[in-house]
Amino acid sequence: MNDVCYLELVELTQRMHAGELSPVEVTKAELSRIESLDGELKSFALVTPELALEQAKTAEEEIRRGDIRGPLHGAPIGLKDLCWTDGIPTAGGMTIYADFRPTEDGTVTKKLREAGAICLGKLQNTEGAFADHHPDIPAPVNPWNAAHWSGASSSGSGVATAAGLVFGSIGSDTGGSIRFPSAANGLTGLKPTWGRVSRYGAFELAATLDHLGPMTRSAKDAAAMLAAIAGPDPNDPTAAQMPVPNYLDGIEKGLKGLRIGVDPEFMANGVDDVTSAMLAQVLETIKSISDGVREVKFPDSHQIVTDWIPACAVETAVAHEATYPDRKDEYGPALSGLIDIGRNLSGLDYQKIILRRNDFRGRVAALFQDIDLLIAPVQPFASPTVKMMETLGEDPKLLHGLLSFTSIFDMTGSPTITLPSGFTAEGTPIAFQFVSNHWDEAKLCRAGDAYQQATDWHRKHPAL
C-alpha cells in the first residue's frame, strides 16, 4: 500500500469507486504509516483509529452497493484540531482545552462525515491558531527538512498531508495559516472567501479574519473538498446564503479567457532572490498557457499589514474573554502577548483600523473589476528555517515581511489558492498564490489545475 499513500485524493476515490481499492485496507495502511512515521513528524494531536475503521467499513459497504456520496467518499483525511468532533478531544493547540470533548460536530466536521470522508484524527496546530506552538506541545516537523519551518498555524495539516499520512486535511487561515504550511510542505491550499465556509464548531482566533479551507495535493482535490464543506449554515449567520458550485465542473477549461494581473512592484516587495527567480519562472509558465498577463497597480498595503496585528488582537481578546486573564499563566507567550495588545487597544484606534480596512477592501474589489486573477508570492523569503522563525517575535520587520502577502487577503476576505512552484537549493518547497474576487473560487481551482497540468511540482514528495 506504500505506492498508494501519495495518490491525489480524487484519483484515490475514483479507484475505490471502481472497486480497485478498499477503503478499509487503505485506512489500515494509513494508520500503520502514521504509527511508523508520526513519532518523529508529530503532525497528529490525536489519532482516532476506531472511528476511522468504523467509517471505512461503512464507506466500503456503501460503495459496494453503489451508494456513492461523491468524490470524498472513502478518502482518509485529517482535521485541524480546532474543528469540533463529537465526543473526541479538541484542544486547538491549547493546554487549557486538553480535556475538552465537544458534544457535537462542528459544521465542517459534519459535512465531511456526510460526504463519506474518513477521519484519521486531529492534526496539531499552534496555540489558539496564532503564531507559535504552546511551549508544552512539540511543533510538527517539516518532512522535507527538519531544520526548516513547517508553517503556522495549520502545521500538522501541512506535515501530515505532505508526508502521505492523510489524503487531504482542513486548515484555517487568519493571517496566512493555510498558505504558510502549504508553501512550506509543497501542498495546494485553498483559502475560500470569508463566509463561504461556516465557522461554527471551530475554535475562534479572530472572528472576521478566520477562514476554514482545504489543504491537499492538487487543485482538483482542493475543489472536491471545498465543494463538500462550503455553503450556508443555520448555526453560523455569517456563512453566505449562496449556492455552492461543483468546483470540479469546468476545472479543465484552463487559463484561456481569464484576465490575469500582475503588479511587478508589489510582487517584488522585499522578496529574496530565490523567491524572485521562482516568480519569474511562474510568469513564464502562465504566459505560455494563457492569453498573457497584464500589469496592474495593487493598492498600497503597508498600513493594512501593520493593522493586522491589532485587528487580530482585539478579536482574539474577545474570543478568549472566558479564560483570559484568569488563566493567563496557562497560556504561551505568543498568544498571551497578542491578547494583551487587544485588551489595551483604544476604541478610537480600533475604529480607525476598521475604516482603513473597509477602504482597502473596496480598493481591492475595484481591482478585480479589470482582472479575474492576481499573481502574488505567499511570503517574501523562501522556506525559512526554524531558527530564523524563532526570532519572529523579536524582529518587527521580519514579522511584517512574513505577513505582507497573506494577511492583506484575510483583511479583505479574498479567496486565494497556493500552488507548489519549485524548490530551494536545500530541496525544500516554495510556492506562489493566485488571488481572485470574492466567490470566484471556481476560477482559482481552474487556474490551479491549469498550472498543475503544465508543471509537476505538486507531484513531488518527501523521501521518508
Q: Where are the domains of the chain?
A: 9-300+357-459
Alpha carbons 247 and 266: distance in angstroms, whole number:
29
**Residue 385, C-alpha cell as written in the block:** 528555517
Read off the amino acid at residue 177.
Answer: S
Alpha carbons 289 and 260: distance in angstroms, whole number:
11
What are the backbone angles phi and psi of residue 188, rounded to the nearest 5°? -100, 115
Provide the pairing of β-strand 211-216 with 429-436: unpaired
* Contact predicate 249/215, CB 8 Å: no
Per-residue burial over 263-300, b if 16 or more Cβ lie within 10 Å, else e, is beebbebebeebbeebbeebbeebeeebeebeebebbe
CA dist 314 → 32, 317, 396 (Å): 43, 5, 19
Alpha carbons 133 and 128: distance in angstroms, whole number:
9
3-class state of residue 93 by DSSP = coil
Look at residue 117 in the predicted model and tell me its pLDDT. Answer: 98
User: 9-300+357-459 has which fold?
Assistant: Amidase signature (AS) enzymes (3.90.1300)
Q: Convert the pLDDT of each residue in 165-209 to its tens digit.
A: 999 999 999 999 999 999 999 999 999 999 999 999 999 999 999
> Minimal CA–CA distance to 427: which of 76, 186, 180, 225?
186
What are the backbone angles phi and psi of residue 313, rounded to the nearest 5°? -65, -45
Look at residue 242 in the predicted model and tell me its pLDDT. Answer: 93
Provide the pairing of β-strand 373-377 with 260-262: parallel
Catalytic residues: 80, 153, 177
* C-alpha count within 13 angstroms, C-beta hemisphere, residue 260: 28
Q: Where are the alpha helices (DSSP H) in 199-346?
A: 219-229, 264-267, 273-289, 302-319, 333-344
Residues of the chain with pLDDT under 50: none
Look at residue 325 in the predicted model and tell me its pLDDT. Answer: 98
Q: Convert the pLDDT of each residue in 223-242 to its tens digit.
A: 999 999 999 999 999 999 99
* Contact predicate 34/161, CB 8 Å: no
* Contact predicate 464/37, CB 8 Å: yes
Look at residue 396 in the predicted model and tell me its pLDDT. Answer: 85
Look at residue 394 in the predicted model and tell me its pLDDT. Answer: 80
* Contact predicate 422/457, CB 8 Å: yes
pTM score of the predicted model: 0.98
- Show Cβ contacts of residue 4 under 8 Å, excluding neighbours closer than 6 positions: 12, 21, 26, 29
**Residue 124, C-alpha cell as written in the block:** 496539531
Alpha carbons 255 and 244: distance in angstroms, whole number:
22
